Chain A
Amino acid sequence: MAQQQQNVEQQVAQLQQLQQQLSSIVAQKQQLEMQLREIERALEELEEIEEETRIYKTVGGLLIEADKDEVKEELEDRKETLELRVKTLEKQEKRVQEQIESLQKRLQKVLQQQQQQAGGGGGAA
């Protein structure tokens, strides 16, 4: 009985750890998605700009003039990298989610068993 209890506690701790992991993955993903949206918006904006318009790029605290096509290419590259990282995180998220669900199911079963054992004595009205 005591060993079983210890086991349950371990699983609960593991569950909490997984949930923490999940929320950190989700937070990371959201951050990357925000960067992605920013890049997409910038690219859209660049499309609408007239040919002779001057374009600058930030270098630390400074702005330095840059070539439009180069900037576009650079943004496309960054977009691709970000999309890849988002996909990786999505996979991780799914995996952890599945782990959480199966652990929850196992825990629920154990707890139900315990309650049935304890319920025979205390629960009868």
Chain B
Amino acid sequence: MAEKEGKEKDREKLQRLLAEIQQLQGQMEAINAQLDLIESSIEELNRVEETLKGVRELKGEEEVLVPVGAQSFVKATIVDTDKVIVGIGAGVAVERTIDEALESIDNRRQELEKARSEAQKRLQKLSQELQEKQREAQQLAEKLGLAQPPQQAQQAPQTAQQRQTGGSSGGS
């Protein structure tokens, strides 16, 4: 009797563990998506930085090709090689000197890099937790008779069925 009750407890624990594992995996997926986003933002900042540094070096007479999408370019000259217009969100943009813009790009990149390393740390922690839970679940599953000597293995599926059909009402 006592052994049976213990088994039931183990089964419940296993079920809880499996739910926790699933939740952890979901969290990790979300963090990974976040990391992708951070990564592409950093890349974009790097690209703009390079462009602005290039523009800063121009005299303003040179012909440049401005991308208008779909690998198409129009010829232009840059009338002001000191200034750049930067969006601040909400459909508003302000004029800045290129030096100012580069500084704020640098700040934003540092913020993003910080966020990236924090997300990576969280991911690592969750992955450790996941491994521990998976190992624990594995052990419990073995203990519950999935890989046990034959006499007990015969009994185990029966208890499993009982729990799924009548078990939830019988428990209370």
Contact = CB atoms under 8 A, between A and B. Distances in A.
B172 interface: yes
B169 A53 contact: no
Contact of A119 (B90, B93, B169): B169
A71 to B, nearest CB: 6
A56 B90 CA distance: 11
Interface of A is mostly: helix
Contact of A56 (B85, B165, B171, B172): B85
Contact of B170 (A54, A57, A71, A122): A122
Given A41-B88, A42-B88, A56-B85, A122 B94 contact: no
Contacts, number: 66
B91 interface: yes
A75 B85 contact: no
A12 interface: no
Nearest to B165: A122
Interface string A21-55: 00000000000000100110110011001000111
Interface string A102-125: 000000000000011011001111
Interface in B50-95: 85, 87-95
Interface string B147-172: 00000000000000000011011111
A123 B92 contact: no
Contact of A63 (B85, B165, B166): B85
Nearest to B1: A125
A45 B93 contact: no
B40 to A, nearest CB: 18
Interface residues of A, number: 27
A78 interface: yes
B85 A118 contact: no
Interface residues of B, number: 18
A58 interface: yes
Contact of A57 (B91, B95, B169): B91
Nearest to A55: B94
A38 B88 CA distance: 8
A23 to B, nearest CB: 15
Nearest to B95: A54
A64 to B, nearest CB: 10
A56 B89 contact: no
A45 B88 CA distance: 7
Given A53-B95, A63-B85, A38 B169 contact: no
7 contacts: A41-B89, A46-B94, A49-B94, A56-B92, A115-B168, A118-B169, A123-B171
5 A-B pairs with least C-beta separation: A123-B170, A42-B90, A54-B95, A119-B169, A115-B169
